[in-house]
Amino acid sequence: MKDYDRKSVRVVGLFSHGGAGKTSLAEAMLFSAGASSRLGRVDDGTSILDYEPEEKKRRSSTCMGFGHLEHNKHLLQFIDTPGDPNFVSEARSALRAVDIGLFLVDAIDGVKVLTEKLWQASMGAFHCRYIFVNKMDRERADFELALKGIHDVLGVQPCLLSIPIGREAGFKGVVDLLRMKALLYESDGSGKFKEEEIPAEVAEEAADARKQLVEAVAESNDALLEKYLGEEEISAKELFAALGEGVKKGLLVPVLAGSALKNIGIKPLLDAIVETGVSPAERAPIKGTDLAGTEIERPCAEEAPLSALVFKTISDPYRGKLSVFRVFSGKIQGDSTIYNSVKRGRERIGQMLAITGDASEQLNPARIGDIVAVAKLKDTGTGDTLTVENDPMVLPALPSPSRVISFAAVPKSKGDEDKLMISLNRLMEEDPTLGVKRDLRTNEFIIEGMGQVHIETSLEKMRRKYGVEVNLSAPKVPYLETIKRSAKGEGKYKKQTGGKGQFGWCWLEISPLDRSAGVEFEFDDAIKGGAIPNNFIPSVEKGVKDRMTKGVLAGYPVKYVKVRLYDGKYHEVDSSDMAFQIAGSLGFRAAAEAAGMVLLEPIMTVEVTMPGETAGDVIGDMNRRRGRLLGTDSAGNSQIIKAHVPLAEMLRYSPDLDSITSGRGMFTMEFDHYEEVPAHVAEKVIAASKKEGVEEEE
Ligand SMILES: Nc1nc2c(ncn2[C@@H]2O[C@H](COP(=O)(O)OP(=O)(O)O)[C@@H](O)[C@H]2O)c(=O)[nH]1
Ligand SMILES: [Mg+2]
pLDDT the model gives residue 475:
65
Helices (H), 305-362: none
Contact criterion met (CB below 8 Å) for 642 and 632: yes
Closest CA relative to residue 380, chosen from 426, 347, 417: 347
Residue nearest to atom 28 of ligand 1 (CA): 135
pLDDT the model gives residue 401:
67
Residue nearest to atom 25 of ligand 1 (CA): 43
The model's pLDDT over 253-281, given as tens digits with 9 standing for 90+, comes to 999 999 999 999 999 999 999 999 999 99
Q: Please tell me the distance from the alpha carbon of residue 428 to that of residue 422, in angstroms, as a whole number.
A: 10
pLDDT the model gives residue 369:
95
The secondary structure of 436-459 as a DSSP string is EEEETTTTEEEEEES-HHHHHHHH
Closest CA relative to residue 543, chosen from 505, 575, 587, 573: 587
- What is the DSSP code (8-state) at residue 216? H
Instruction: Please tell me the least confidently modeled range out of 366-375, 446-455, 689-698.
Output: 689-698
Closest CA relative to residue 586, chosen from 642, 694, 508, 497: 508
Ligand 1 in reach of 16 Cβ (< 6 A): yes
**Ligand 2 ion local residues (Cβ < 5 A):** 22-23, 61
Q: 174 alpha carbon to ligand 1 midpoint, in Å?
A: 19
The secondary structure of 23-56 as a DSSP string is HHHHHHHHHHTTSSSS---TTTT--SSS-SHHHH
Q: 23 alpha carbon to ligand 2 midpoint, in Å?
A: 4
Ligand 1 in reach of 263 Cβ (< 6 A): no
Ligand nearest to the CA of 133: 1
Q: Say which residues have a Cβ less than 8 Å from residue 379's Cβ, sequence separation at least 6.
A: 340, 343, 345, 347
Rounded mean pLDDT, 420-447 = 81
Give 3-state DSSP helix, strand, coil % of the chain, rounded to 5.
30, 30, 35
Instruction: Please tell me the least confidently modeled range out of 12-26, 333-347, 452-466, 478-492.
Output: 452-466
Q: 261 alpha carbon to ligand 1 midpoint, in Å?
A: 7
Which helix (H) or strand (E) covers residue 642, if one does? strand 638-646
pLDDT the model gives residue 7:
93
pLDDT the model gives residue 96:
95
Ligand nearest to the CA of 61: 2
Using the predicted structure, report yes or no on whether residue 358 has a pLDDT greater than 50. Answer: yes
pLDDT band at 696 (very low <50, low <70, confident <90, very high): very low
Q: Which amino acid is at 684?
A: K
pLDDT the model gives residue 697:
39
Alpha-carbon distances of 196 from 72, 183, 185, 202, 257, rounded to whole Å: 21, 6, 11, 13, 18
Ligand 1 in reach of 387 Cβ (< 6 A): no
Q: Which amino acid is at 377?
A: L
What value does the mean pLDDT of the chain take?
89
pLDDT the model gives residue 164:
96
Rounded mean pLDDT, 589-616 = 91
pLDDT the model gives residue 315:
79
Using the predicted structure, report yes or no on whether residue 211 has a pLDDT greater than 70. Answer: yes
The model's pLDDT over 553-597, given as tens digits with 9 standing for 90+, comes to 998 889 999 999 999 999 998 999 999 999 999 999 999 999 999
Which among 282-291, 413-422, 460-469, 603-612 has the top mean pLDDT?
282-291
Ligand 1 in reach of 449 Cβ (< 6 A): no
Which among 181-185, 404-408, 440-444 has the top mean pLDDT?
181-185
